[in-house]
């Protein structure tokens, strides 16, 4: 049994930003917290640009380790992080909640995607440092 806090990265569609955050959370911070992602609606597959760029940048194949899932498919969590979907953002009970206010890069250039991925990585590392202290 792990006593590590569970962090849920959520947005309406669990296909892009929240999936990237789950992957980077596992990649950069699995020693400090457990990462999950979910949404109020699912997509048949993870955003293909996100999948391709995560492979290119980190060697992570999100399609083998993750899939789009609904909020009731993840365990109860300690921390909820919304990706920046404002009012429609799904609600999950948690001890702590914050919004990262990220723009959805879906349909945009690789440059825009990489900016979002890099911002998510920075925020994951900041969260890891906060939870360690």
Q: Domains along the chain?
A: 6-132 (3.40.50.2300)
Distance CA 82, CA 88 (A): 10
The label of the residue with tokens 């669990």 reads 14
What pLDDT is stored for residue 86 in this prediction? 63
CA dihedral 116, 4, 60, 130 (to 10 degrees): 30
- Confidence band, pLDDT 50/70/90 cuts, at residue 2: low
| Mean model confidence pLDDT for the chain | 93
CB 33 within 8 A of CB 94: no
pLDDT in tens, 66-121: 999 999 999 999 999 999 866 566 678 899 999 999 999 999 999 999 999 999 99
Write down the pTM of the prediction: 0.94
């Amino acid at each position: 049994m792990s006593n590590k806090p569970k962090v849920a990265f959520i947005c309406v569609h669990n296909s892009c930003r929240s999936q990237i955050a789950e992957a980077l959370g596992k990649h950069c911070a699995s020693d400090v917290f457990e990462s999950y992602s979910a949404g109020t609606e699912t997509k048949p597959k993870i955003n293909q640009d996100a999948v391709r760029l995560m492979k290119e940048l980190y060697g992570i194949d999100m399609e083998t380790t993750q899939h789009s899932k609904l909020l009731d498919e993840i365990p109860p969590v300690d921390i909820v992080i919304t990706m920046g979907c404002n009012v429609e953002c799904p609600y999950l009970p948690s001890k702590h909640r914050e919004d990262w206010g990220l723009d959805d890069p879906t349909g945009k250039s690789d440059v825009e995607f990489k900016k979002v991925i890099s911002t998510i990585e920075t925020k994951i590392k900041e969260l890891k440092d906060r939870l360690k202290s």
